[in-house]
Structure 1
C-alpha cells in the first residue's frame, strides 16, 4: 500500500511537471508566426487553453502574464503535493 501511495505522488508530480512544460511550449508558440494555427499548436492549445482561461485577467496592456501566473500556481501545487507526501510518510514511518 505504501508503494502505491508513493507511486501515486510520483505520477502526480510528473503530470504537473509535464503540464508546466506544455504551458511553456504554448507560450513560446506565440513568438512563431502561425504557431497556434499549426496542428501541433492546436493540440497544445486544446490541452492548455482551458486552464489558462482562469488567468486571463493578468495582463498589462497587450502583454499577458497568464502563463506565468499559471506556472506559479502549478509550482505551488507541486510544493503542496510534496508537503502532503512528507506528512503522510512521516506519520507512517
Structure 2
C-alpha cells in the first residue's frame, strides 16, 4: 500500500494487512470504495473457494492508511458463480 504524499505522488510502500492463510488471490476480486460512509476508501474482496462456496470480505480503512482485520460481510448459499458476478451499487 502507498498513501498520497500530497505532491502528486506517493509515500513509501508499506504493508497494511497480511494473512499467510489467505491462499490463492487468483480467485479473488478486489473492489474499493467508501463502504461504511466514514469518508475513507475501504476494500471488499469477493473470494471464490474451490469447494463451491463464495464469500465477501470487507476491510474498513483506519485513519493512518492501514486496514482493520477483514470481516466476513456476505456468505451466500452455494450455487453462486463468481465468473457471472458483477458488483454494482452506490458506495457512500
TM above 0.5: no
Higher RCO structure (Cα 8 Å, ≥6 apart): 1
Larger % of strand: which? Answer: 2
Greater share of residues in helix: 1
TM bin, normalised by shorter chain, reads under 0.3
Which structure's CA Rg is the greater one? 1
The TM-score, its normalising length taken from structure 1, stands at 0.21
TM-score normalised by length of structure 2: 0.21
